[in-house]
Structures are given as structure tokens and as C-alpha cells.
Amino acid sequence: LPLSRPPYIIMLTGRRERSDVLTGFRVGVNNYLAKPFDPDDLLERVGIGIRSVAAMQRQLPATGPQRLIAGIRLLEPLGRGASSVVYKGRREADGQMVAVKLLDVARHDQQHDMFQRRFLREISLAGQVQHEHVVSVLDAGHEADTAYIVMEFVDGNSLGTIIDTNGPCTQEVVLPLARQLAGGLQAIHGRGLIHRDIKPDNLLIDSDGDLKIADLGLARQIEQPDLQRLTAHGATVGTPLYMAPETIRDVTSAGPPADVYSYGACLYCALTGHPPFRASTPYEAMMAHLEQTPPPLRTASPETNPDLAKLIDACLAKKPEQRPDLNEITTRLDDGSSGSRPRSGLLAAVTQATRSLARRLSSNGSE
């Protein structure tokens, strides 16, 4: 469980002997499950872990003075990526709330140079995009041997959190999100960039119901000859559940259609409550994107408008040239609806998600 320090560890093991289990506990395992296992048993143990972590956090002593960087007081962490940590921060000069992304040097000592180059490249690329549906970069630099990016703070939830908490979204909720996401991607592509990691957790929805694309950390310029110098040979880039087939085969060949594929995968997830392919490992997910055709959207979500379902299915075509471009997507979205921006459903979903999370945390704390 990522929010705990130290982490709460559940061991999945094929070794059932008592001595094996005791060895696991001696090296720091908190709970265990023997293979083969029932998924419901794993979910139950995860629930136990959440309650345990909540209890431990209530018992933690108050932290010392909060860190100050670039005139910003770092508050609670908002999330952690492969090479960085994002904090909520308050600017001392005017009290404005911001998000601060710090390079996580401690976790990558041996690969520090590569991560540093990627981090600095993200600063450069993200600063090129100014759009209402893309998280803005406000400042960047180095301080005390730490690279940082200061971004606008989005007061809301990610689409991933809303889906996880609330289940599938209605078509009335998804349509304005689809337009806004297409607009943000057009701005990114218009600067000669590809995002390469469009997924529900990178789509932030604020309290006004507006979507903003976050995390350009994997973005690259459409024509960038030195990409391989920043990408390990044979490595894939992106999130397997939403990754385009061509990105899996060869990251250097991925162009704007790769973001369109991920766009379709995110909308598919929003309407059904799950990604186009269900997979238990990254390898299974990647093989599914390469070799399988996802179930038609209307099969998983029969109430979805046929035109919208057809558009999303088209975005998930295996061949990049068979996918619609963002201009066609925007036109088809506008032609297929009244053009109004129904916000009430979205705001209700965001509000309900927030309240559900609050109830869940409260429940965890009382159990």
C-alpha cells in the first residue's frame, strides 16, 4: 500500500509450509496468501492492510517543520511516480496552492543521471503547452541538489479515482470529458509533442467539472532523434492497460495516433468501469493490445449511444492509420450531441466520489 511508511506487504507464495510463512514474517511481510488463491481473499487482505495502515497513521507522531523549496511550503504528498514525488504546496509569498514535483533521487541513486535528464526534459516540454485542459507549469529549477517543477494545483479527483469509487460514468458525464480531453491532446500535439501516458489517473477533474491532462513525464517530441538515449533498449513506455500496440512494438515509432488509442481506452474504461482488456500482469495486458480485439463497447455498455460507441471502438483500432484523428473525433462528438456541456452529472459524480472516499476513510478509521 503506497501511502504507508514502511509499506504494508502482502506475500503471495506457492510455499505453504509453516516455516516458509514464518520466514516471510521475519523479513517484514505483513500478511500472506498461498497460491492458487481466490481474488476475493486477496481483496479481503488488502482491506485489512488499508485499515492497518490507517490505524498506524493515526498513531504516528506529528512531523517536524515542513520543507520549504523555491519559496513553497511542501504539505502532504499527492502521489508518487517511478522517479518523482508530487506534493501539495503553499506559496509563502501569496498563499497560493500549487503542486510541486520533485525528482526522487533517493530511490534511483544508480540511475540518477538518466532520471535527471528525463526530469529536465519534462520541464522543457511541459512548459511549451498552455491550454485550459492541460495542467500548467508555473516554475521549475534546482535547489539544494533537487530538481523541481511547480504546477497548478487541481482541487479535485482523477478520473481513475472517480471510476474506482463510483463505478462506470454515464454518457452525459463522459461526453464533456471526451471533448475536453480531445482539446487538451490537440494542444499537446500542436506543440509537436506526444503524451504517451494517457490514462484515467492522469486525467484530473476539478471542482468545476473541468478536465486537465497531467504528467507529461513520458512525452517526447514527434521528431526526436535522441529518444533512445533516454529510453532503455527494448523498454516500453506508458501504462500497459492503455498502451497502443505500436508503442509496445517500438516506442520510437509511436506518433499522435498512439495518444488517440489511449484516449479511446480511457473513455472505454469511463463508460464500462474497466479497461478494454482485463489482465493480471503487464505482459498479459501488452499481449492483449497486440493480438486481441477488445469487446465492442456496446457489448460492455449497451446503453451507450451507438455513434459514441462506434467512435471509441474506432480509436482502439490496431493499425494507427485506421484510427480517427483528433479533428475528426471533435467533429463527430459535436455532431453526435446537442453541443451543450452537461455538467450536473459530472459534478454529481465528483461530489459523490469525494463523499464516498471520505466515508471510506472514516469507516477504515473506526473499524
The set of cell numbers assigned to 277 is 482488456
Q: Write 339-346 long-range contacts (CB < 8 A, 24+).
A: 341/176, 341/179, 342/172, 342/173, 342/175, 342/176, 343/176, 343/208, 343/209, 345/169, 345/170, 345/172, 345/173, 346/172, 346/173, 346/176, 346/177, 346/205, 346/209
Strand-strand pairing, 203-206 and 146-152: unpaired
Q: Give tens-digit pLDDT for 133-174.
A: 999 888 888 887 778 889 999 988 899 988 988 889 999 889
* Average pLDDT of the residues of the chain: 77
Instruction: Work out the angle between the directed axes of helices 306-315 and 256-272 (0-180°, nearest 10).
Output: 140
Residue 129 in this model has a pLDDT that exceeds 60: yes
Q: Give tens-digit pLDDT for 51-97.
A: 565 554 444 333 445 689 889 999 988 877 666 788 999 999 999 99
- Cα–Cα distance between 106 and 92 in angstroms, integer? 26
Residue 227 in this model has a pLDDT that exceeds 80: no
Known catalytic residues are 197
CA atoms within 13 A on the CB side of 293: 8
Give bridge partners of residue 240 from the DSSP assignment.
none
- Identify the CA nearest to 215 among candidates 119, 286, 143, 91: 119
**So what's the pLDDT on residue 357?**
53
Strand-strand pairing, 10-13 and 31-34: parallel
Strand-strand pairing, 146-152 and 137-143: antiparallel
233 pLDDT tier (thresholds 50, 70, 90): very low
- Cα–Cα distance between 274 and 294 in angstroms, integer? 12
The H-assigned helical ranges of 195-292 are: 227-230, 245-249, 256-272, 282-291
